[in-house]
Amino acid sequence: MAHWLFKSEPEAFSIDDLRKKKKGEIWDGIRNYQARNYLLTAAVGDRVFFYHSNEKPPGIVGLAEITEVNVVDPTQFDAKSHYYDPKATKAKPRWTTVKVTFVEKFPNYISLDELRETFDGAELMVVRKGMRLSVTPVPDDVAAQLMEMAHEKR
DNA sequence: GCCAACGTTGGC
DNA sequence: GCCAACGTTGGC
């Protein structure tokens, strides 16, 4: 079981929005090849740290689980969608993603500042300067530490 | 295939 | 709201 970190702007889609989706939700709108390529290596059962960007402060709010892989992102075919991609066709889709479901909202919010104090860029990509990728892998030992930080009594 | 211009992300 | 970082586009 691998671990990931997915970024989302809570104004667009928050962990509370995901919690309401009983059947899970397609993680749509990924339009970066590196992020997509990471998603192609994800497996059902992988765990996802849900990160809120553009929040004060930004940080990890909870956990999700991948329930389906190789999901063709339907928004690429929708001319009305913000994520419409005219170069994508049904025969040759460009953007595949995953479906995720809510697992938990953490008792402790782990802010970006705290992540920076605990991990360096080699351990956790999101703390790297200028890191804009919205999908990044999280090594197992870092994931275990994050789970502790998320649940320890403070 | 280079690279300038442009657009987006996301912390601050 | 600013702007650094950086990915993408398109002219050549």
- pLDDT tens, residue by residue, A52-79: 999 999 999 999 999 999 999 999 999 8
* pLDDT confidence bin for A154, thresholds 50/70/90: confident
Measured CA to C1', the nucleotide nearest A113 is B11
Write down how long chain A is. 154
Nearest nucleotide to A133 (CA to C1') is: B9
Supply the pTM of this predicted model. Answer: 0.94
Q: pLDDT band at residue A5, thresholds of 50, 70 and 90? A: very high
CA-to-C1' distance for A113 and B11, Å?
Answer: 11
Nucleotide nearest to A54 (CA to C1'): B10
Sign of dihedral through CA atoms A33, A34, A37, A42? negative
CA distances from A125 to A74, A94, A118, A142 (A): 28, 25, 13, 11
Q: How far is the CA of A106 from the C1' of C10 (A)?
A: 46
pLDDT, tens digit, 9 for 90 and up, residues A91-113: 889 999 999 999 999 999 999 99
